Amino acid sequence: MELLDNLALGFSTALLVQNVLYCFVGVLLGTAVGVLPGIGPTATVAMLLPITFSFEPVTALIMLAGIYYGAQYGGSTTAILINLPGESSAAVTALDGHVMARQGRAGAALAAAAVGSFIAGTVATVALAVAAPPLARVALEFGPAEYFSLVLLGLIVSIALARGSALKALAMIALGVLLGTVGQDIYTGTPRFVFEQRELYGGIDFVSVAVGMFGVAEILRNLENEQTRTAIVSKVKNLWPTREDRRRIVGPIARGTGLGAALGVLPGGGHVLASFTSYAVEKRISKRKEEFGNGAIEGVAGPESANNAAAQTSFIPLLTLGLPAHPVMALMVGAFIVHGITPGPNVITDEPELFWGLIASMWIGNVLLVLLNLPLIGVWVRMLRIPYQVLFPMIILFAAIGTYSLSFNAYDVYAIVFFGILGYILIKCGCEPAPLLLGFVLGPLVEENLRRALIISRGDASVFLTRPISAVLLALAAAALVIAVLPAIRKRREVVFAEDE
């Protein structure tokens, strides 16, 4: 069995002492930022990215991945206990989870979330291990024309999933792509849009963009209306669900896992979509519809399983195609590149230890998360008492230090305020920051493959339509664009996301 050999290789890498240690650090930090409202995994990964540069590549990626899926776990704790989703995908968990907590069943809700997440994470990790290699083999056949079309498809699908107006999301992508062109041109070396500043020749650092858009802008949003957090947190007891509860969560966990694993592959926020879809499905098929919104345990177990499964499978496009499905993945592309590895189909053959080690570490991370979250729930509850007045200066200071340590370049630090304010204005106007970051990271790939494909085809632009795979991908992109703009489907999306507010 090739799969078993590969997994054995993965576990032998992931179980090395330093890898287990950093996996633990990653999930610990991830849980912490997931629990704390006001800071998300994207800003955290961006701030911590510079310090992982000195690690072994596999260790760095294991830790960064841990932050990402750890945050999905932590987000549910806050959602259940204080009705404040720490992470957007946990918003739907708050609907029933918080009601359960008020009824004194917080323990059962937390346990359902943790057990569901663990089962979903395990199954989705296996799905990732099975699905990734064949996909990578297909992707190896891709030329520049196919890559161009694929990246374009990825960008356009990401807007179909973003909240709010599709027009604005498209504009945010274009803005991201444009910002990505700052710096020296790859083919001619001409410095573009650098205003004669030598510090800008290397381009704008994506860490600055991410920290600005997701860290600084978020802080400004939170400082608009300062309220003391009303953390009425009841004591959590009776973690073990009753027999009745256990019977009721089996189905939702299984369905949530399947949905999440499938939807997680979509770029742009599959985990959010997955948890909303799972909630809708559970509500529709339940015999006790009236309980939904009034503390139905199915409404916690299903969505939590779905978002955790999606968090795992969203690594599939990253590891096989080099396409990030989430802003955190976009940062991980950067982490790969810093370590001299081009993310994409070659990783699996060139760096099998890294590839399988990362996958195996996700399962280990899920075990650690269950251990961290259930017995230590009291610690996380106490963390909610940290006042925001301590938290936001810490984020700003760490962000400044983190971006400065990228290359000891003060421009990287100035860039975070620039992007913080730009992001703040645009977010206030109803634009989502995630498409901009995806555009920023993928833009250079679009340009490079566009130009390379045209050089190979001797300047014939029809090459994108005459090569079959490329044509299919472009057709899918066009279809996704139509779907995103079509009013009927837009309305449905608004309904799905309306409960998120």
Q: Which chain residues interact with another protein by CB under 8 A?
A: 51, 54, 164-165, 167-168, 170-171, 174-175, 177-178, 181, 185, 187-188, 190, 192-193, 216, 219-220, 223-226, 388-390, 392-394, 396-401, 404-405, 408, 410-411, 413-414, 416-417, 420-422, 424-426, 428-431, 443, 447, 450-451, 454-455, 458-461, 494
Helix (H) or strand (E) holding 183: strand 183-184
**Measured from the CB of residue 334, what is the shortest distance to another protein in angstroms?**
18
Pick 130 or 455: Cβ nearer another protein: 455
**CB atoms closer than 10 angstroms to residue 52:** 21
**Measured from the CB of residue 433, what is the shortest distance to another protein in angstroms?**
12
Pick 104 or 393: Cβ nearer another protein: 393
**How far is residue 268's CA from residue 141's CA, in Å, rounded to a whole number?**
25
**Measured from the CB of residue 165, what is the shortest distance to another protein in angstroms?**
6
**Measured from the CB of residue 400, what is the shortest distance to another protein in angstroms?**
4
Nearest CA among 251, 297, 250, 286 for reference residue 109:
297
Instruction: Yes or no: say if 265 and 325 are a contact pair by the CB < 8 Å rule.
Output: yes
Instruction: Yes or no: say if 241 and 298 are a contact pair by the CB < 8 Å rule.
Output: no
Phi, psi (deg, nearest 5) at residue 167: -60, -45
**Measured from the CB of residue 476, what is the shortest distance to another protein in angstroms?**
20
Pick 17 or 225: Cβ nearer another protein: 225
Pick 26 or 443: Cβ nearer another protein: 443
**Measured from the CB of residue 354, what is the shortest distance to another protein in angstroms?**
22
Pick 124 or 209: Cβ nearer another protein: 209
Instruction: Yes or no: say if 120 and 309 are a contact pair by the CB < 8 Å rule.
Output: yes
**Measured from the CB of residue 50, what is the shortest distance to another protein in angstroms?**
9
> Is 409 strand, coil or helix?
coil
Pick 246 or 451: Cβ nearer another protein: 451
**How far is residue 232's CA from residue 102's CA, in Å, rounded to a whole number?**
10
Pick 57 or 75: Cβ nearer another protein: 57
Contacts of 451 (CB under 8 A, 6+ apart): 187
Instruction: Yes or no: say if 381 and 233 are a contact pair by the CB < 8 Å rule.
Output: yes
